[in-house]
Amino acid sequence: MIMKTIKSLLNVCILGFLVLSCEKEDKTETYINTIEVQNITSYSAECTSEISGDESFPIVARGVCWGKNEQPTLGNSFSVDDGGFGASSSKITGLNANSLYYLRAYYRSETDTVYGNQIEFSTPDYILFNPELTYGTVTDIDGNEYKTIQIGDQTWIAENLKTTRYQNGDAITHETDLYKWGHFQIQTGAYIFYDNNESNKDVHGALYNWYAASDSRNIAPEGWRVPTVEDWKKLSDYISPFQNGYYGYKLRETTSAHWSFYDPMRLASTNSTGFTAIPSGKAVSGKFMDLGAQYAYYWTGTGTQDGSSCIYLGEDIAIDFMQPNARGFSIRCIKN
């Protein structure tokens, strides 16, 4: 009987110790909450988070981490922010336009990294023109309105062409069979939207073969034309001397919104000319390529039936780059 009583008392003591231990652990628990993403642009956003609990707990660092896959960690992009406990706001940068992101707040202690709940957000898609310059406008036969910009004594359309008709009203063939692009299976004017998705039209325009670019019915708005190799050379001469050895800084849209994360120039571009080049991809030999990559591709009006001149615009301008006529590239127009 005495042994049973002693054992019962011992069990009660152990239970009491465990309860007290649990209560102590609850009091020292530290929580992190990912609250809300705000002020979302095509290339940046802000996120609020909060850390609560026992403020004697040592927090070494805090911030948010984000990526295009779920459950991002410090192995993805992340911020390191000031402050310990309480609410904090984090700046999220280097985003791509028209993309879904996952985000979690985190804190680091002396021994561990703890992540908060995951939230998701999407970036909008729009072109970032130079706000310090004055743009004009022009409208094509389909009613699409474009911004225009004067660079030296040339005036350029500062967006990729979107039209589906020539100046006289004739329809351009909408060729959705990607395998006909680049294999000379089609030798008349044609266009296609990247990924065969018309939602890409507003920002990226259409991709055209050279037969459409050079057609005598003129694909450009009235009073405009597809630029020749000489027009592009004149543009490149005007923006010299190079900035840090390259042309591209002055012609490319700023920020990371449309240019590749791996492009070393994506955060250095100034778009000081207002040309606002973006990498809108190409249709080549049965596949779409290079949307949001490191080059923008433009047809010129210069060429022959055997191959024609294309512009590669990245860190600099590769002018008179010969390409098969059936490939699909963007078109910029110049005023007559």
Q: How confident is the model at residue 314 (pLDDT cuts 50, 70, 90)?
A: confident
Asked whether residue 319 carries a pLDDT value surpassing 90, the answer given is: no
- What pLDDT sits at residue 136? 98
Q: What is the mean pLDDT of residues 198-209?
A: 96
Give the list of residues 6+ apart from residue 187 with CB closer than 8 angstroms, or none: 211, 325, 326
- What pLDDT sits at residue 16? 43
Q: How far is C-alpha 242 from the chain's CA centre?
A: 25
Specify the DSSP element, H or E, that contains 300.
Answer: strand 296-304
Tens of pLDDT, residues 1-30: 444 444 444 444 444 443 333 333 334 488
- What pLDDT sits at residue 4? 44
Q: Are 45 and 64 in contact (CB under 8 A)?
A: no
Give the list of residues 6+ apart from residue 188 with CB closer than 8 angstroms, or none: 173, 211
Tens of pLDDT, residues 245-302: 567 789 999 888 898 866 666 567 889 999 999 999 999 988 999 998 888 999 999 9
- What pLDDT sits at residue 271? 93
Asked whether residue 326 carries a pLDDT value surpassing 80, the answer given is: yes
- What pLDDT sits at residue 23? 34
Give me the residue spans of the domains in the chain.
30-122, 136-335
Tens of pLDDT, residues 63-108: 999 999 999 999 999 999 987 899 999 999 989 999 999 999 999 9
Tens of pLDDT, residues 103-157: 999 999 888 999 999 999 999 999 999 999 999 999 999 999 999 999 999 999 9
- What pLDDT sits at residue 18? 37
Question: Looking up tokens 């309480």, which residue turns up?
Answer: 86
Q: How confident is the model at residue 313 (pLDDT cuts 50, 70, 90)?
A: confident
- What pLDDT sits at residue 55? 81
Asked whether residue 204 carries a pLDDT value surpassing 90, the answer given is: yes
Q: What is the mean pLDDT of residues 38-43?
A: 94
List helix spans (H) across 178-321. Answer: 201-204, 210-214, 229-238
Q: Work out the mean pLDDT of the chain and round it to a whole number.
A: 87
Q: How far apart are CA 242 and CA 233, in angstroms?
A: 14
Asked whether residue 35 carries a pLDDT value surpassing 90, the answer given is: yes
- What pLDDT sits at residue 27? 41
Specify the DSSP element, H or E, that contains 18.
Answer: helix 2-28
Percentage of the chain with pLDDT > 90? Answer: 66
CATH code for the part of the protein at 30-122: 2.60.40.10
Q: Are strands 190-192 and 173-174 parallel, antiparallel or unpaired?
A: parallel
